[in-house]
Amino acid sequence: MLALFDKLRVEDAEFRDTFREQLRKATNWDLNGSIERDVELQGKRNQIIHQQRQLLNLRLLEEINADTYAAKAQELRDEEAGLRLQIEGASRNRNETIDIAIKAFELSQNLRAKWFAADWAAKRRILEIVCLNWKLDGVSLVPEWRKPFDLLAEGLQKKDSRGERI
């Protein structure tokens, strides 16, 4: 089991630090894209709120009838609720993705120590986290890694290298 965990560990401390930095940059880049999307969605929501005010004013001035007002008001409320859900979901997904990426990498680098300190239930949980399934290859069990552990198990490629895996 420890040999399998060692496949996930990046031994080169400099590369491990570089990988963490690239992970941080990637999540920050994604964060910037999410912020732009949030601003766009919030702008659409503000437009709908403005339309709701205009609709109310038209009704108060009796320029539209009650049925027209009710139908359009419902449509605008539904659209605003949908945008609100998209805004909340995007924010939640962004934060969860960042947390999961960092936790997954940190776990992969500390699996050996965690394995020794774990009880049977925790060991089972560790296996469930890093492995999707197990296959029998002759007399050996071979893990089918979950993402992103599969990339670590195969070996990361240095961007400026000749394609050698580490």
pLDDT digits 0-9 by tens, 29-80: 666 667 788 889 999 999 999 999 999 999 999 999 999 999 999 999 999 9
Mean pLDDT of all residues in 86-110: 76
164 domain-assigned: no
Continuous H helices in the chain: 2-8, 13-60, 66-109, 111-117, 120-130, 149-154
163 domain-assigned: no
**Run of H or E residues at 9:** none
Q: Is the confidence at residue 112, as pLDDT, over 50? A: yes
144 domain-assigned: yes
- Distances, alpha carbon 15 to alpha carbons 7, 12, 96, 152, in Å: 15, 5, 25, 13
Closest of 125, 142, 123 to residue 133, by C-alpha: 142
What pLDDT, on the 0 to 100 scale, is given for residue 31? Answer: 65
166 domain-assigned: no
| Range of 9-18, 78-87, 93-102, 154-163 with top mean pLDDT | 78-87
162 domain-assigned: no
Q: Which long-range contacts (CB under 8 A, 24 or more apart) does 26-29 make?
A: 26/101, 27/97, 27/98, 27/101, 27/102
Percent of the chain at pLDDT > 70 equals: 84
Distant-in-sequence, close-in-space partners of 87: CB < 8 Å, separation ≥ 6: 38, 41, 42, 45
Rounded to 5°, angle at Cα 82 from 77 and 86: 145
Instruction: Supply the range of the domain harboring residue 102.
Output: 2-154
Looking at the structure of the chain, the number of domains it has is: 1
160 domain-assigned: no
Rounded to 5°, angle at Cα 72 from 71 and 76: 120
What pLDDT, on the 0 to 100 scale, is given for residue 161? Answer: 47
